[in-house]
Amino acid sequence: MKNNLLKLAFSAMTLLPMGAWAIDFGSEQVVSTTTVWTFNTMTDVVNTASYLADDQGNGNLYANCKSGSNSTTRTFTPTALGDTQKFAFGDGYTVAISKVLVVNANLRNPNNLPEGTTAETITGDYGQGFLAFNATVAGTLYVYMNVTDASASAADKGLRIYHSENVADSKIKSSKNSTATGLQEISYTSAAAGTFFIGITAGGGGKIYAARFVPTSEKKDEWVYIGETGYATYANNNSYDIPELPTGLSAYAATAGTDGHSVVLSTRTGIRRTNGYILKGTPNTNYGLTLSGTALGPEFNGGDLKRAATYSSASYVIPATDSGKYNYLLGNDNGTAKFFAPNGTSALNSKKAFLQVSSQLTPATAARGIDIVFADDVTGISATLNDKGEMTNDSYFNLAGQRVAQPTRGLYIVNGKKYIVK
């Protein structure tokens, strides 16, 4: 996300009859496209009616921390996490978080709202602290939060999302809620346009990490995140194939190189169900995937890549060896993607994949990586010998950059190109 300065705007309250109040936020009061709110650049404590902008300069997330007739002030304090952390929503969409909004006390749900209530027209005692925004289309709201104190025995405690479509007879009829403590996500899908209200009703407050709204028309079946190396593994655990990749994303099968110390990637134009793949795209970017009933043939397989979901361990800790085969994980070697032998504690989630081969690759320790090469860059040749039994081709170099006088079978660099000596 762009690190633009966070916009924080305040508007004057307009008095309404019977203690009601409203806020005029002008034209920035609606959401009709996918919007993600994080608070990485925020510096001010929010303790009055205002709207929050995300790191891309989009406003629309309203913070109301004080009601019209209650003097209690709720505050949202931006607090640094220390190191930037990445969090994935339930559908796989990943955000980088460096700050959270800490709620000082009850971030109440706006109960008993009149029909037609919006984020700007909250009335009476119902606005003792909440986040809200007005969506002009139907869609799904995702909220990533940490609830400090909740009670499973109390329906009014925990994390809750209301939507104005459920308001009837001046009362909210239903909501999505969680009474669990700790880091969690809650989502709510609306069938119509309207206002979402977000609240933590636990007495101890909580932390808001990020919020995200996705219109129904823009929703993807699954998201994959490409990290800083530009590569990631992906396991299609779905019962459908993905015949078309989004612009900028490439898929590859992976197999062990014949030289014994490389992994060769072969292009795949689609992703087959129950297969694992290597994906390549722009670093630090989310890509949305769409499942299809169109079946892909066996030629779209992922080679020697296995899905972590097929592994027997519930936590998907991948061992170095398994049933006489050798396992390798995609990792980061100073910004370059390479494969590494597992260290015994390496865990993958079910949407990831690992390499499993019958012969050990070298280097086979976690401290050194195994290079990735592309099948399209490799040309098969047979070595030609002169009458002295010497190679007649140009100079050969191994993948470590060392000149080799008499190559044997394997992968080498000749005149800047990769070749396999057979």
At which residue do the structure tokens 């590569």 appear? 231
The pair of structure tokens assigned to 257 is 């190189």
Amino acid 71: pLDDT: 57
Distances (CA, A) of 51 to 64, 65, 132, 144, 198: 8, 11, 9, 19, 14
Alpha-carbon distance 82 to 348, whole Å?
24
Q: Strand 262-268 relative to strand 371-374: parallel, antiparallel, unpaired? A: parallel
Alpha-carbon distance 176 to 186, whole Å?
7
Residues of the chain with pLDDT under 50: 1-28, 68, 152, 155, 364, 380-392
Distances (CA, A) of 65 to 125, 126, 131, 206: 11, 11, 9, 14
Amino acid 128: pLDDT: 58
Nearest CA-CA partner of 133 in 45, 195, 66: 195
Q: Which domains, and CATH codes, for the chain? A: 8-218 (2.60.120), 226-374 (no CATH), 382-421 (no CATH)
Alpha-carbon distance 58 to 408, whole Å?
60
Report H helices in 248-327: none
Task: Return the HEC string of 233-251.
Answer: EEECCCCCEECCCCCCCEE
Amino acid 387: pLDDT: 47
Amino acid 409: pLDDT: 64
Q: Strand 378-381 relative to strand 417-421: parallel, antiparallel, unpaired? A: parallel
The number of residues in the chain equals 422
